[in-house]
């Protein structure tokens, strides 16, 4: 077994070695089993149980007809032999767990690896898989609400995590620029425009009443004067629709960019309604595929998709009796287009209010010949609190805190961090006052503070002003040389607070790759906020118990290297969340 502390590979290697050991015991007639069971290898929660633990003996007990601890003795003896030089101890504990304690040079080697790998630490090999993540996709008729902000943070972070795991990821925003909401939007702007021109108009009953509508109308008035007031309504509204639409789209792009979210593709729904060279629209072509596959039928003048063939509750209408298409029909064409573009996996992030739509969309994707290649993530909503009161998020009333307001109020880092801190299927109760607070109550500052503190130490070690941001931390990092004999000083006196703090930090650092791998597999950025807080905590403990900039050059370089490795991993974890890692606060 190579002395490679990378968590993922250690687990895999250890699993293989254990399985080999059991194989040998079976071949030698010591274990009455047909074949080795599937064993789990995990990091014990309690550090006194060692670095790794396996349930191999427990899962073998029944089939072998033996007492778990007797089997554990056999396996442990084999492991001691096979892991000589890598494992310091192999022990049996509890009902029959086998605990492996790694040799200390294997443990400390993670520092060297992190500092060599830098940002690549914990990254997966390229998978060759092409993944599309579609998210936000807010209607371009007004500002984003805070729920959109959460989904923006979520989609972007998932994209970053998947990229780190080795996938090729594209971020896409679907622009619903073809529906009746666009007409309502246009007539709303038109009404405000006429008001501004002093005309007596009745505001559309279902119109958008937000103040931004009047702002857009004012912009048009400023730029083009009141010449549209006497034009036919249809002509005026057609013109205003494009003006207002462009303004809102630019606004959306600006706000998203301001929080570090940039899309690769803005896909316009309108293109699905345009006729191509074959004289057909994308919607017609998409439906044509379903027809050829035999999933469409006519009933009461409408065209239906037999989605029940794929587990949906009922069949769905694609073309209404009046000849117009449903929104679902456009969505089918849109998804057909995604797969035509060659994605191996499409991830859609929708708000919780759309979850009833998942089955039919999955059914459509399967009917198009891509079963299992769509994954819909349902993002729960955000409850915004202000002075203990729930703030409403209605576009109609116009009384709402927009996502842009929230960003201005708390900043992009705090907003993203708070959105990502909860698991996706849990609603977020967003407390504006807490997110603004620059105190220990605020977890994002706790983590960022640890990073800034490390940068300060590095500057101190280099003899620079600890708060001077112009000092190049990367250069200082590169100047720190800690060979394996120096690193051996870390955790050299087990049982002392200093060594325990060092070992705790080393253990936490070593766990990063598997946390990222898990976050990628589960599309769960919140695993990284939890990890970042644990790593920051481990670092603060280390800092409290271990003076870094000490006289002894070997110990000093070892602790500096450990602090530096912590800096690298903290920055990486925050980076995958899209949150900044400031060098000074």
Tell me how far, at minimum, the Cβ of 33 lies from RNA, in Å: 14
Cβ neighbours of residue 403 closer than 8 Å, sequence gap 6 or more: 143, 144, 145, 146, 148, 149, 152, 255
Counting every residue written for the chain, the total comes to: 585
Question: Taking the complex as a whole, how short is the minimal distance between the CB of residue 344 and RNA, in angstroms?
Answer: 23
x/- mask, RNA, residues 348-377, rule CB under 7 A, reads: ----xxxxxx--------------------
61 binds RNA per the rule CB under 7 A: yes
- Beta strand segments in 335-422, E: 345-351, 374-379, 382-386, 389-391
**Secondary structure (DSSP) of 477-532:** HHH----HHHHTTTT-STTSHHHHHHHHHHHHHHTHHHHHHHHHHHT-THHHHHHH
Which of 2, 16, 28, 62 is close enough to bind RNA by CB under 7 A?
62
Which residue among 21, 456, 477, 557 contacts RNA (CB under 7 A)?
Answer: 456
What is the DSSP secondary structure assignment for residue 122, as one 8-state letter? T
Q: Which is nearer to RNA, 407 or 501 (CB)?
A: 501
| Contact status: 55 vs RNA (CB under 7 A) | yes
Indicate the DSSP class of residue 467.
Answer: T
Least Cβ distance, residue 67 to RNA (angstroms): 11
- Among residues 457, 449, 445, the alpha carbon closest in space to that of 564 is found at 457
Chain positions 253 to 282 lying near RNA, rule: CB under 7 A, are none
- CB atoms inside a 10 Å sphere around CB 253: 15
Near RNA in 105-134, by CB under 7 A: none
Judged by CB under 7 A, does residue 338 bind RNA? no
Q: Using CB atoms within 10 A of its CB, is residue 54 exposed (0-12), middle (13-18) or buried (19+)?
A: buried
Interactions with RNA, residue window 501-540 (CB under 7 A):
514-515, 517-518, 524, 526-527, 530, 533, 537, 540
Please report where in the chains the tokens 């994308």 appear, as a residue: 282
Least distance CB 457 / RNA (angstroms): 4
Residue 45 lies near RNA (rule: CB under 7 A): yes
- Cβ proximity to RNA, 228 vs 325, nearer residue: 325
Given the complex with RNA, which of 338 and 559 has the nearer CB atom? Answer: 559
Assign 280 to helix, strand or coil.
Answer: coil
Does residue 452 bind RNA (CB under 7 A)? yes
259: Cβ–Cβ under 8 A, 6 or more apart, which residues?
149, 152, 153, 407, 412, 415, 416, 578
Binding range to RNA, per CB under 7 A, among 52-60, 241-249, 470-478, 566-574: 52-60
DSSP 144: P
Contact between 544 and RNA (CB under 7 A)?
yes
Question: Using CB under 7 A, which of 460, 488, 554, 575 touches RNA?
Answer: 460
Question: What whole-number distance in Å separates Cα of residue 406 and Cα of residue 408?
Answer: 5
Instruction: Tell me which of 27, 211, 223, 440 binds RNA, using CB under 7 A.
Output: 440
Contact of 151 with 578, CB cutoff 8 Å: no
Using CB under 7 A as the binding rule, whether residue 206 contacts RNA is answered as no
Nearest partner of 13 among 108, 87, 116, 121, judged by Cα: 87
What three-state secondary structure class fits 306? coil
How buried is residue 336: exposed, middle or buried, by Cβ count under 10 Å (0-12/13-18/19+)? buried
Closer residue to RNA, CB minimum distance, 164 or 526: 526
Whole-angstrom Cα distance, residue 30 to residue 483? 44
* Residue range at the interface with RNA (CB under 7 A); choices 199-207, 298-306, 362-370, 389-397: 298-306
Give the C-alpha separation, 418 to 429, whole Å.
9
Q: Identify which range of 82-90, 156-164, 392-400, 577-585 contacts RNA by CB under 7 A.
A: 577-585
Interacting residue with RNA among 29, 35, 38, 46 (CB under 7 A) = 46
Region near RNA per CB under 7 A, out of 102-110, 196-204, 387-395, 546-554: 546-554
Does 1 bind RNA (CB under 7 A)? Our answer is no
235 counts as binding RNA under rule CB under 7 A = no
392 binds RNA (CB under 7 A): no
CB closer to RNA, 85 vs 311: 311
Among 238, 302, 345, 492, the residue binding RNA under the rule CB under 7 A is: 302
Select from 301, 311, 371, 494 the one that contacts RNA (CB under 7 A): 301
Q: How far is the CB of 448 from RNA (least distance, A)?
A: 8
Measured CA to CA, the distance from residue 187 to residue 139 in angstroms comes to 16
Residues in binding contact with RNA, number by CB under 7 A: 91
Distance CA 160, CA 575 (A): 8
Report the site for RNA in 308-327 (rule: CB under 7 A).
313, 316-317, 320-322, 324, 326-327
**Per CB under 7 A, 443 contacts RNA:** yes
Interface with RNA by CB under 7 A: which range of 36-44, 273-281, 367-375, 482-490? 36-44
Rounded Cα distance, 79 and 87, in Å: 9
Asked whether the CA dihedral 477, 481, 482, 483 is positive or negative, the reply is positive
Q: Does 441 bind RNA (CB under 7 A)?
A: yes
Q: Quote the CA–CA distance of 539 and 380 in Å, as a whole number.
A: 33
Burial string for 139-166 (b: 16+ CB within 10 Å, else e) reads bbbbbbbbbbbbbbbbbbbbbbbbbbbe
Q: Which of 15, 19, 49, 196 binds RNA (CB under 7 A)?
A: 49
Question: Using CB under 7 A, which of the segments 122-130, 154-162, 218-226, 426-434 binds RNA?
Answer: 426-434
Are 267 and 172 in contact, with CB atoms under 8 Å apart?
yes
Least distance in angstroms from the C-beta of 152 to RNA: 19
Q: Binding of RNA at residue 423 (CB under 7 A)?
A: yes
Kindly state the smallest distance separating residue 1's Cβ from RNA, in Å.
19
Q: Looking only at residues 138 through 197 of this chain, which bind RNA when binding is defined by CB under 7 A?
A: 139, 176, 179-181
């Amino acid at each position: 077994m190579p002395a490679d502390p990378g968590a993922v590979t250690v687990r895999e290697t250890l699993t293989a070695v254990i399985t080999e050991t059991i194989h040998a015991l079976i071949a030698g007639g010591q274990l009455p089993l047909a074949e080795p069971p599937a064993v789990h290898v995990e990091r014990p929660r309690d550090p006194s149980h060692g670095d790794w633990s396996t349930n191999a003996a427990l899962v073998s007990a029944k089939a072998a007809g033996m007492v778990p601890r007797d089997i554990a003795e056999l396996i442990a003896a084999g492991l001691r032999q096979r892991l000589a030089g890598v494992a310091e101890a192999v022990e049996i504990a509890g009902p029959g767990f086998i605990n492996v304690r790694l040799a200390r040079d294997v443990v400390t080697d993670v520092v060297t690896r992190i500092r060599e790998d830098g940002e690549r630490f914990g990254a997966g090999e390229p998978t060759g898989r092409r993944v599309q993540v579609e998210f936000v996709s807010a209607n371009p008729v007004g500002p984003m609400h805070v729920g959109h902000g959460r989904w923006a943070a979520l989609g972007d972070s998932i994209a970053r995590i998947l990229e780190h795991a080795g996938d090729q990821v594209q971020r896409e925003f679907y622009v619903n620029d073809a529906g009746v909401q666009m007409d309502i939007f246009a007539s709303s702007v038109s009404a405000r425009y006429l008001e501004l021109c002093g005309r007596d108009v009745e505001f559309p009953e279902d119109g958008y009443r937000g103040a931004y509508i009047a702002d857009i109308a004012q912009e048009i008035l400023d730029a083009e004067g009141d010449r549209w007031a006497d034009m036919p309504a249809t002509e005026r509204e057609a013109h205003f629709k494009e003006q207002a639409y462009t303004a809102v789209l630019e606004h959306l792009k600006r706000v998203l960019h301001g929080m570090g979210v940039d899309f690769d593709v803005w896909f316009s729904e309108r293109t699905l309604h345009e006729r191509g060279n074959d004289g057909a629209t994308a919607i017609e072509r998409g439906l044509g595929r379903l027809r050829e596959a035999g999933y469409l039928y006519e009933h009461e003048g409408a065209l239906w998709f037999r989605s029940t063939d794929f587990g949906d509750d009922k069949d769905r209408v694609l073309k209404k009796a009046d000849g117009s298409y449903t929104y679902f029909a456009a969505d089918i064409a849109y998804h057909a287009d995604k797969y035509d573009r060659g994605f191996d996996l499409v991830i859609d992030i929708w708000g919780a209010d759309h979850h009833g739509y998942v089955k039919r969309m999955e059914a459509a994707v399967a009917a198009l010949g891509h079963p299992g290649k769509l994954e819909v993530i349902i993002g729960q909503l955000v409850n915004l609190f202000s002075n203990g009161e729930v703030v409403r998020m209605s576009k109609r009333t116009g009384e709402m805190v927009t996502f842009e307001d929230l960003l201005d109020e708390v900043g992009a880092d705090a907003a993203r961090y708070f959105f990502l801190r909860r698991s996706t299927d849990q609603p977020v109760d967003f407390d504006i006052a807490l997110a603004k607070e620059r105190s220990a109550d605020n977890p994002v500052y706790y983590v960022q503070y640890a990073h800034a503190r490390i940068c300060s130490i590095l500057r101190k070690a280099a003899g620079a002003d600890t708060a001077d941001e112009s000092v190049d931390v990367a250069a200082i990092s590169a100047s720190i040389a800690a060979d394996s004999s120096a690193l051996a000083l870390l955790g050299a006196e087990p049982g002392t607070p200093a060594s325990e703090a060092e070992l705790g930090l080393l253990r936490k650092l070593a766990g990063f790759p598997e946390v990222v791998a898990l976050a990628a597999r589960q599309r769960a950025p919140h695993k990284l906020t939890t990890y970042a807080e644990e790593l920051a905590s481990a670092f603060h403990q280390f800092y409290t118990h271990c003076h870094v900039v000490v006289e002894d050059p070997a110990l000093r370089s070892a602790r500096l290297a450990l602090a530096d490795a912590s800096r690298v991993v903290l920055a990486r974890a925050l980076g995958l969340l899209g949150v900044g890692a400031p060098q000074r606060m």
